[in-house]
């Protein structure tokens, strides 16, 4: 009976993954902003949008839209022209606990990266002994809102950014990075995704940390061996359905 229930759940999860890994998903997701660009413009837009992506979905999209408008159609030029300096020493909040000065620091760190590397992917590839999440977490260490991989954080927003850049099926994610395999991706784990995974029995760990994110990713590696982050769409569908076991 237990094995039959597991098989039924796997079928349901595959269905949700197929339903939500669909171009229509873009219109109501923060990924809509980096999708406006390509190359380094998309990297910058994607990284800053992911940095903002916590809390209420509607509020995220509203704020990300305001910031996207401030790029004047070219996020990469916004960085390289150091337009982020307009946020310097302004400790008013730009979004929830993130301040304008945090935005300045993030822009400055991005500028430093692009002064040394042609792309962010090139930087990540220069750290072959580190997981991409680890390399990004360490490079942007100290920027408020960037999770600390070294302390076991799930690094949800970094994982989401990497999903956007790496997955390459041409439906939702952008597949701009060519040298990192989708098999290396980790499920972006936040409180909501963790709750859904617990209810489905995908994990029994109570901490929403990197160890749990890896455990959930390993589960979906069993369903999607070449593309475990596809499970992110399955868990999104499970949460939206409200009827987790489809009964």
pLDDT at 247: 44
Burial letters 66-82, b for 16+ CB under 10 A, else e: ebbeebeebbbebbeee
Cα 148 to Cα 69, 110, 136, 151, 209, distances in angstroms: 29, 18, 10, 6, 11
For the chain, what's the residue count? 247
Cβ–Cβ < 8 Å for 102, 144: yes
Cβ–Cβ < 8 Å for 219, 205: no
Sequence-distant (6+) residues with CB within 8 A of 60 are: 30, 52, 53, 54
How, if at all, do strands 98-99 and 93-95 pair?
Answer: antiparallel
Q: Which residues pair with 98 in a beta bridge?
A: 95
Cite the beta strand spans of the chain per DSSP E: 93-95, 98-99
Count of alpha carbons within 13 Å of 237, Cβ hemisphere only?
22
Vertex 211: Cα angle to 208 and 214 (nearest 5)? 100
Per-residue pLDDT of the chain (247 residues; tens, 9 = 90+): 466 667 888 899 999 999 999 999 999 999 999 999 999 999 999 999 999 999 999 999 999 999 999 999 999 999 999 999 999 999 999 999 999 999 999 999 999 999 999 999 999 999 999 999 999 999 999 999 999 999 999 999 999 999 999 999 999 999 999 999 999 999 999 999 999 999 999 999 999 999 999 999 999 999 999 999 999 999 998 887 765 554 4
Read off the pTM: 0.95
């Amino acid at each position: 009976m237990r094995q039959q229930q597991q098989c039924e759940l796997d079928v349901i999860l595959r269905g949700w993954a197929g339903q939500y890994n669909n171009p229509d998903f873009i219109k109501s997701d923060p990924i809509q902003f980096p999708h406006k660009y390509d190359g380094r413009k998309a990297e910058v837009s994607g990284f800053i949008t992911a940095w903002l992506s916590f809390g209420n979905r509607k509020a995220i999209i509203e704020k990300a839209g305001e910031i996207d408008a401030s790029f004047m159609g070219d996020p990469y030029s916004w960085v390289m022209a150091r337009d982020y300096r307009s946020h310097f020493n302004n400790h008013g909040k730009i979004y929830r606990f993130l301040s304008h000065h945090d935005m300045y620091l993030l822009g400055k760190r991005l500028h430093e990266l692009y002064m040394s590397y042609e792309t962010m992917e090139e930087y990540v590839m220069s750290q072959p002994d580190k997981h991409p999440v680890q390399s990004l977490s360490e490079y942007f260490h100290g920027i408020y809102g960037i999770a600390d991989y070294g302390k076991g954080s799930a690094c949800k927003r970094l994982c989401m950014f990497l999903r956007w850049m790496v997955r390459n099926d041409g439906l939702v994610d952008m597949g701009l990075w060519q040298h990192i395999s989708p098999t290396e991706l980790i499920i972006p784990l936040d409180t909501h995704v963790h709750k859904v995974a617990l209810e489905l029995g995908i994990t029994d760990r109570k901490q929403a940390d990197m160890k749990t994110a890896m455990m959930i990713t390993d589960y979906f590696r069993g369903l999607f061996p070449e593309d475990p982050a596809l499970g992110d769409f399955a868990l999104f569908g499970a949460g939206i359905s409200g009827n987790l076991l489809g009964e």
